[in-house]
Amino acid sequence: MATAQQLNTQFGINKRLRFSDDAPVKGMPPDSRPAGSLGAASGLIIAEIDNAQATASLCLQGAHLMSWRPKNQAVPVVWLSRDAKLAAGKSIRGGAPVCWPWFGAHAIESGFPGHGYARTVPWQVIESGSEPDGATRLTLRLVESEKTRAQWPHASKLDLTVIVGETLRMELTTENTGATDFVISEALHTYLQIGDIGAVRVTGLDGCDYWDKVGSSTLRKQQRAITFSGETDRVYINTSAECVIEDGKLKRRIHVAKSGSLSTVVWTPWAEKAGKMGDMGQPEGWREMLCVESANAIENVVKVAAGARHTLIVEYRAEPVQ
């Protein structure tokens, strides 16, 4: 794998895109950054983006976007746990994990990792550049290995392009490079920063069917906006709607608009489950995050025909509420 220095030579863009294995996390106020220098001990490389519109950090392991703060926002829009740890082969708590080629538990093999392996394996940088409006673009490709092929014996390519500006755009493209069709489920499992879970509501899913995964899985229908008063773990199906998180405490709205995705997952662990997870940030980090995940899951799994491509695209933006 390339070193940070080699990546800077090939893909760095002045101060706007730098690679480091000893990086602070851009886009987070100093008092909410995870302790220490995240990259150093793990040897993992982090891409640091800092342009006129926004700051962001992305770990090459997992192509895991860790933070994003548009410069017109005092508080980051993408949440990273204060207790997030960087370690080879481990998923990072917060940011935008890439769940692929399956979402949730594997359909047959209980020993395979939940949410697939893409979020815990190395990816390589294949392209970088600047958009006409000054946003910074970075494309990574998942690196296959014997271990990944043992879990996914299909000829495929998986690329993630991240465009960091006043809006954040993520494009996850699956290409079937083999001669037989395959089926994937997937998600961009984004943790969004909120003021307090009790003071937000999510609009855009009124009337949608969802699988309620708290307790035994039950199919229900959403009535009106979503509000939160306990553990919530739902897979909304057959919806490509834009969702809006209305945040009364931070006085802003976060818009999540998508294409190539028919499922939306809404998840908050609440106190008991967050306590068991152990890396949600003390004392009550879980209250300051909400996952609104753009996915294809359950009845919305995607068949990718031999030679074909499928792309899931999500755009995030934040606006103040007066």
Residues marked as catalytic? 189, 293
CB contact set of 194 (below 8 Å; sequence gap of 6+): 79, 200, 245, 247, 249, 250, 254, 288, 289, 290
Of 159 and 279, nearer to ligand BG6 (C-beta) is 279
Q: Tokens 């919806």 correspond to what residue?
A: 239
What does the per-residue mask of binding to ligand BG6 show for 39-78, with x meaning CB under 6 A?
A: ----------------------------------------
Task: Give the span between the Cα atoms of 298 and 178, in whole angstroms.
Answer: 24
What does the per-residue mask of binding to ligand BG6 show for 108-147, with x meaning CB under 6 A?
A: ------xx--------------------------------
Contact between 210 and ligand BG6 by CB under 6 A: the answer reads no
Contact between 186 and ligand BG6 by CB under 6 A: the answer reads no
Contact between 279 and ligand BG6 by CB under 6 A: the answer reads no
Size of the site for ligand BG6 (CB under 6 A): 9
Contact between 233 and ligand BG6 by CB under 6 A: the answer reads yes
Q: In the set 85, 90, 213, 310, which binds ligand BG6 (CB under 6 A)?
A: 213
Q: How far is CA 309 from the centre of its chain?
A: 20
Written as six digits, the tokens of 285 are 């980090």
Of 16 and 85, nearer to ligand BG6 (C-beta) is 85
What does the per-residue mask of binding to ligand BG6 show for 75-104, with x meaning CB under 6 A?
A: ----------------x-------------
Contact between 265 and ligand BG6 by CB under 6 A: the answer reads yes
DSSP 241: -
- Written as one string, the DSSP assignment of 70-118 is ETT-SS-SB-B-TT----TT---SBSB-EEBS-SSS-SS-TTSPTTBSG
Beta bridge partners of 189: none
Q: How far is the CB of 148 from ligand BG6 (least distance, A)?
A: 18
Q: How far is CA 133 from the centre of its chain?
A: 24
Of 171 and 233, nearer to ligand BG6 (C-beta) is 233
CB contact set of 110 (below 8 Å; sequence gap of 6+): none
CA dihedral 82, 84, 86, 92 (to 10 degrees): -140
Binding site for ligand BG6 (CB under 6 A): 91, 114-115, 189, 213, 233, 265, 267, 293
